[in-house]
Amino acid sequence: MDDSMDPRKYEAQLLIRWQAGDMDAGSQLIRLLSPGLIRYFRSHLEGDTHDLVQDTLMHLVSARGKIREACSVRAYVYGTARFKLYEHLRAITKRRKFDPLTHSVLDLCPRISTELRGRQDAQLLLQALRSLPLDSQTALQLYYIEGMSYREIADAYGLAEVATMRGRMHTYREQLRRAIAALELGPSAVAKSREAVEHWAVDLSECLFESPDDDSEVDPEPTTRDSELTL
């Protein structure tokens, strides 16, 4: 990719080439998307998230021809990942009914660890994110960690209006600031969080992509039955 090219435009070009039969373009696109999916699932879960990443990517393989031009590839992939996560959480917690607008990771998995090998700021941010409702956590991660736009996040959530997601993001940020303040227990915590979250998000992104205790890696080349594409 040319350094001057917008990454989203490059991904869109890869998708168009893939849809036209260029399997190498599909492999390149999958490799670009994989690190973010690893971060996404590791931020919500402990242990091996390999299968969830692979399931999400395999869904992209089978549905690549259905992605409309106006929707970014990342919006489609994270919309899929969001539902894969909810299905997984229902299965492991044996709760068929839970509300992502009110239930958090900590509600569903109260013993989940937030230890990040000495990175206190990133650890604090992860703990605060996991205390938020699932839909809040996901939207904030897509914005701060994956660098997605309001339009892309709205598409991932199936919202027609960007303004709706913009309004929700204001609420989500306030939830995060209050969660950080509660964890820091300091009078300047809220003000500090406004300036620090973006910096902490960079550290958290690096931590989430480091090899966890399970030491598993995403296999970039599972084969598909309906094509010769390797991921």
pLDDT in tens, 193-225: 555 676 667 777 777 756 444 433 333 344 443
Residue 157 belongs to domain spanning: 8-209
Terminal CA-to-CA distance of the chain, rounded, Å?
18
Considering the domain boundaries, does residue 27 fall inside one?
yes
Considering the domain boundaries, does residue 214 fall inside one?
no
- Tell me how many domains the chain contains: 1
Q: What is the pLDDT of residues 70-88, one digit of tens each?
A: 678 999 999 999 999 999 9
Considering the domain boundaries, does residue 152 fall inside one?
yes
Considering the domain boundaries, does residue 225 fall inside one?
no
Q: What is the DSSP letter of 159?
A: -
Phi, psi of 216 (to 5 degrees): -85, 150
State the CB neighbour count (10 A cutoff) for residue 118.
8
Phi, psi of 223 (to 5 degrees): -95, 160
Spatial distance between the Cα atoms of 52 and 64, rounded to a whole number of angstroms? 18
Considering the domain boundaries, does residue 158 fall inside one?
yes
Quickly list DSSP for 71-83: S-HHHHHHHHHHH
Considering the domain boundaries, does residue 155 fall inside one?
yes
Per-chain mean pLDDT for the chain: 81
Phi, psi of 104 (to 5 degrees): -105, 170
Quickly list DSSP for 89-132: HHHHHT-S---TTT-BHHHH-TT-----TT-HHHHHHHHHHHTS
The single residue listed with the structure tokens 């299968």 is 51
Per-residue confidence (pLDDT) for residue 193, from 0 to 100: 54
Considering the domain boundaries, does residue 78 fall inside one?
yes
Considering the domain boundaries, does residue 3 fall inside one?
no
Query: pLDDT tens, position by position, for the chain (231 residues)?
Result: 655 668 888 999 999 999 999 999 999 999 999 999 999 999 898 878 899 999 999 999 999 988 876 678 999 999 999 999 999 988 888 876 778 999 999 888 887 876 666 567 778 888 889 999 999 999 999 999 899 999 999 999 999 999 999 999 999 999 998 888 888 655 455 555 555 676 667 777 777 756 444 433 333 344 443 344 433
